[in-house]
Structure 1
Amino acid sequence: MIKRYGDTDFVTGLRAIAACMVIAIHTGAFRDLGWIGANITDMGRTGVYAFFVIAGFSVAATFRQGQDFPVYITRRFFRIAPLYFLVVIAAFLFIRQGVIETPSWGERFDTPYDAYNLLMHLTFLSFLDYRIANSILTVEWTLPIEVFWYFALPGVILFARSWVLLAIACALVMALSELTWPVIRSVAPGADKLAAHWMPTRYGFYFVAGVACFRFRKSRLFDNVALTRVLLLAGAGLFVVAVAFSVGNGPLLVGLSTAIVICGYRISSPAWKSLLENRVLLFLGTISYGLYLTHPLLIALSVSQLGWHPSGLSGFAAALATSTLVSWILFLGLERPINNYFRDRKRTAAPVILKP
């Protein structure tokens, strides 16, 4: 049941933490526990940035396994598309039929729930229209961003053959991020500023940071145990400070802390292994994609059918428990069979070795 990745099992634990952070903000999990609890709850929104860094790391790892681009992109697409299609279509139909209320972003922009809306979501192009980009699940805006970078990152990986070129790639994607809103504003003067927020170009740094993590772990720098221990402590400390005290640029700090932990984590530390590789986190991390996608729909169903919005610690526990059950069923019935199919195809296919 639990996915195993050898010396990077801890990344599955990081996925679990990121998913729980997102559920926390949607349930106001710790808001009643004083100002630190409120900070932790509010910083749950930054869980998606941890996911972006992890996605960049995963793309670098899978693309460098020696597959050609069509094989790589097919595997990545079918890793996320089936469950995404299922949950988005279900939520779309529930909204159309009045089973659940129109999500907040849909109300803000008076979004029509028509064939155009659904088609833009199913083609992962919803980021092109800010009125519909986050109108169905309130978390789906991140999936088109991931798909965009699934296509773009292989070019970055092949370009960044040295640390200097990787630094140049980071600088370019950061510049692209800063230019996103000015470009949109010049092309469409009446656009809402959220048009930039949903755009994939705003988040390139996090994905490229994930690529840098992969490069670091493959380099001789990883053999320096003292350095990796310092990195691990620094990354964990930065995460705690950013989340508990809500200082500075939260998304950037959480993204950086995730990247630093990935660079510095070593299995040789039993304490850290028990923290990030315990069976609970590994289980939740294995089904984290389902947790992320299904919990908003389950919360909406609870509100509309039971008249109860899960909130506080009890609401967080209820939302986590129900989405865990649903995600586990979907993992066994949908995600795992598809993943196994493409893994078996990989074993029988002759790999095309990419030049470093």
Structure 2
Amino acid sequence: MNSPELRYKDTNFITGLRAFAALAVVMIHTGGAGLRSFGVIGSRLADSGSAGVYVFFVISGFAVSQSFESSNSYQYYLVKRLRRIVPLYFFWLSVCILWSGGASAYSILMHVTFLSFLDIQVANSIIGIEWTIPIEIFYYLLIPAVLIWARRLPTLCLITLLALTLHLIFQFLAALSGDKTSLLRLHWSPIPYAFSFSLGMLAYRLKQTWNPKPWQSYAAWAASAAILVAYAIKPGAFKFLRIDALVLFSSISFIIITSTTDSNNIISRSVLCSRPIQYLGLWSYGIYLAHLPLNGIVVSNFSLTPFPNFLATSALTIAISALTYYLIERPGQRWRAKVESKHDIKMASA
């Protein structure tokens, strides 16, 4: 089964990565799935669920690069991307506004224009996790210009390094001020995530020329696992090196995406490309948008400990997300396919 978004050079496994990233975010917002009962290390593993967002951003950098370079124009590309993200986002905005009894006209305007990251008072005020959507749109607009300018791999490597430097500088300045509002304003802005998106673009460029061997893929996965274990046991060492969760998990996502194909690793072949995980990956955008409002329903009706809460919320979210995928997301993809077909015919006859 092929993903409608990532049919590119043996990379259906990336759809599987989406599934685990989405479930990681569900885990952190439902109490840690019981991991916190295992002490300090368990709590650190639970907290790492928030890194699912960074994985999404790296994947998005890869997917957007592929989408732009397979499009015939910037306008054509942008319509494709907006059709991918806007319908379901507006649906959940509407549901949450109606469920909560309303929102200010200003807040709604900032959300529907994707400018909510400019005001932290409204950036995350309707769905509860929507701060990432304007960041996605920001990089949808920016990435094509970067790809056009940075056609050579060394240039893109330099941009990635500059993005990392920018992230570290702003993190240092925000921490130095000691102002939690400044930290939150930075967290909900596009600035830190330039590194994640640039790694996605870099992975896309590398996969155009590099066909990793199985041993290289297994070595990358083993090294990534070892780094994650070290991070859970001794996070202070990473903090001393200025390696925060964004840098760590974005880098690991880059390593996995770059070194893996659907066929060169048994994990990608048997797990990430398995039919259930591929379906979850296809529904992952819906899972991300729906899980927090639906968790509110679960919590208000049942007194559950973290692990049952995670299971109940995941089950309900997956069911609703499957439904919205076929009723909202899939029709948009079919419409897009028709538009692409007509556009290709027109271009061929021009």
Alignment CA distance shift 1:258-1:345 (3 Å): same
1:103-129 superposed Cα distances (whole Å, 9 cap, x missing partner): xxxxxxxxxx31101111111110000
Alpha-carbon offset, residue 170 of structure 1: 1.5
- Taking the aligned partners of 2:2 and 2:253, their CA distance within structure 1 comes to 22
- How many residue pairs get aligned? The number is 332
Alignment partners' CA distance in 1, 2:101 and 2:258: 45
Shift of 1:289: 0.4
Q: Which residue of 1 aligns with 2:333?
A: 339
Contact 1:9 1:277 in 2 (8 A): yes
Q: Distance in 2 between matches of 1:290 and 1:280?
A: 16
Question: Counterparts of 1:135-284 in structure 2 under 5 Å?
Answer: 135-178=125-168, 192-219=182-209, 221-222=210-211, 226-239=215-228, 241-242=230-231, 248=238, 249-266=244-261, 267-284=263-280
Q: 1:154 to 1:243 in 2, by over 3 A?
A: farther
Amino acid at match of 2:69: R
Partner in structure 2 of residue 41 of structure 1: 46
8 Å CA contact 1:295, 1:320 repeated in 2: yes
2:78 pairs with 1:73: yes
1:321 alignment counterpart: 315
Shift in alpha-carbon separation, 1:271–1:11, aligned structure 2, 3 A = closer
Which of the numbers 58, 61, 70 marks the counterpart of 1:56? 61
**Matching of residue 88 in structure 1 with residue 83 in structure 2:** no
AA matched with 1:16: A
1:297 corresponding residue in structure 2: 293
Query: CA RMSD for the aligned pairs?
Result: 2.8
Of 156-165 and 166-175, more deviation after overlay is shown by 166-175
Q: Deviations over 1:29-52 (max 9, x none)?
A: 122244443222111011100000
Query: Does the 8 A contact of 2:291 with 2:313 survive in 1?
Result: yes
Whole-Å separation in 2 of the counterparts to 1:91 and 1:125: 18
Report the TM-score, using the length of structure 1 for normalisation. Answer: 0.85
Q: Give the CA deviation at 1:255.
A: 1.0
Amino acid at match of 1:329: L
Does the 8 Å CA contact 2:57/2:197 hold for their aligned counterparts?
Answer: yes
Q: 1:17 to 1:71 in 2, by over 3 A?
A: same
2:11 is paired with a residue of what secondary structure? helix
Aligned amino acid, residue 327 of structure 1: S
Q: Which runs of 5+ in 1 are unaligned?
A: 98-112
Give the whole-Å Cα distance in 2 for the aligned partners of 1:137 and 1:32: 28
Deviation at 1:238, TM superposition (A): 3.4
Instruction: Name the amino acid aligned to 2:257.
Output: I
Q: Does the 8 Å contact 1:67/1:352 carry over to 2?
A: no
User: C-alpha deviations, 1:160-206, integer Å up to 9, x for none?
Assistant: 11122112211333344356579999xxx996431111111221010
Q: Does the Cα contact within 8 Å between 2:214 and 2:264 map onto a contact in 1?
A: no
Instruction: Name whichever of 308-317 and 21-30 sits farther off.
Output: 308-317
1:19 deviates by 0.3
- Residue aligning to 2:30: 27
| Superposed CA offset, 1:249-307 (max 9, x none) | 22221111111000011213334411211222111111000000001011122334x2x
Matched residue SS, 2:37: coil
Residue pair 1:299, 1:310 contacting (<8 A) in 2 also: no
Paired residues of 2:212 and 2:259 also in contact (CA < 8 A):
no
Which residue number corresponds to residue 102 of structure 1? none
2:241 aligned residue: none
For 1:341 and 1:260, the matched residues in 2 are separated by: 34
Letter in 1 for 2:334: N
CA distance change for structure 1 residues 36 and 15 in 2, over 3 Å: closer, same or farther?
same
Alpha-carbon distance, 1:224 to partner = 5.1
Aligned to 1:107: none
Contact 2:2 2:12 in 1 (8 A): no
Equivalent pair of 2:116/2:123 in contact (CA under 8 Å): yes
CA–CA separation in structure 1 for the residues paired with 2:288 and 2:111: 17
CA contact (8 A) 1:79 1:338 kept: yes
> How far off its partner does 1:322 sit?
0.1
More divergent stretch after superposition (46-55 vs 246-255): 246-255
Post-superposition Cα deviations, 1:202-256, rounded to whole Å, max 9, x if no partner, equal 210100100000111111x325554444334333443455467656322221111
Q: Please tell me whether the aligned partners of residues 138 and 190 of structure 2 are also in contact (alpha carbons under 8 angstroms).
A: yes
Instruction: Work out the CA distance in 2 between the residues paired with 1:191 and 1:34.
Output: 30
